[in-house]
Structure formats: structure tokens, C-alpha cells
Amino acid sequence: MPLGMNKSTIDIQSYLRDREIIHSDPEIMSGVPVFVGTRVPLQTFFDYLEGEAGLSEFLEDFPHLKSQALLTLEVIAKMMLDQERTTRIHSI
């Protein structure tokens, strides 16, 4: 597994690829996962969320990615809720 990646990251990327929100192409950014139709890496989105900038600054800097960014957050939230439910069920 590449450095900085874990099972959750890979699950998110797979889910986003299946929904054509991101894709990887060796000819685009050396195969780094990017938002479809752009050269903006998914990691850039995560970097904004983890840093002080946050979602609002990401949307200011990349306004053309508003719908993809919101879909990405929706996917992450749903996966977190599913994981929480699974954890609660297994702890009973």
C-alpha cells in the first residue's frame, strides 16, 4: 500500500472512481487520482480539508469543482456513518 494510504483511503477512491468523480490515467499527472476532466488531484482536496484553508477556500480556488467536492464529502460522510454503525453492531 503506498505511503499515506490506508484501507479507508482506498475504499473512498474506489467508490469515487465507480461514480466517475475521480479517475487515474498514466498520461495525466503520472496516474495520480484527479477529479474527472481536470488535473486537480484528489489529495489536493484532502490537503485543503486537513489544513487551515478548509472547504470554503478549496471552492474559492477551484469553483468548477463544487459539485465534485460536495459529492466527495457526501461519500466520505456515508462511509464514516456505515463504519460507525458497523462498529456499534459489533460492540453489542
- Structural domain boundaries of the chain? 7-91
- pLDDT of 9 reads 66
Q: In a structure prediction context, what are the per-residue pLDDT tens digits for the chain, which is 92 residues long?
A: 344 455 666 678 888 898 899 999 999 999 999 999 999 999 999 999 999 999 999 999 999 999 999 999 998 888 888 888 887 777 76
- pLDDT of 86 reads 80
What's the rounded Cα separation, in Å, for the pair 13 and 79? 12
7-91, CATH topology level: Arc Repressor Mutant, subunit A (1.10.10)
- pLDDT of 1 reads 37
Residue 68 CB partners (closer than 8 Å, separation 6+): 21, 22, 35, 36
In single-letter form, the type of residue at position 77 comes to A
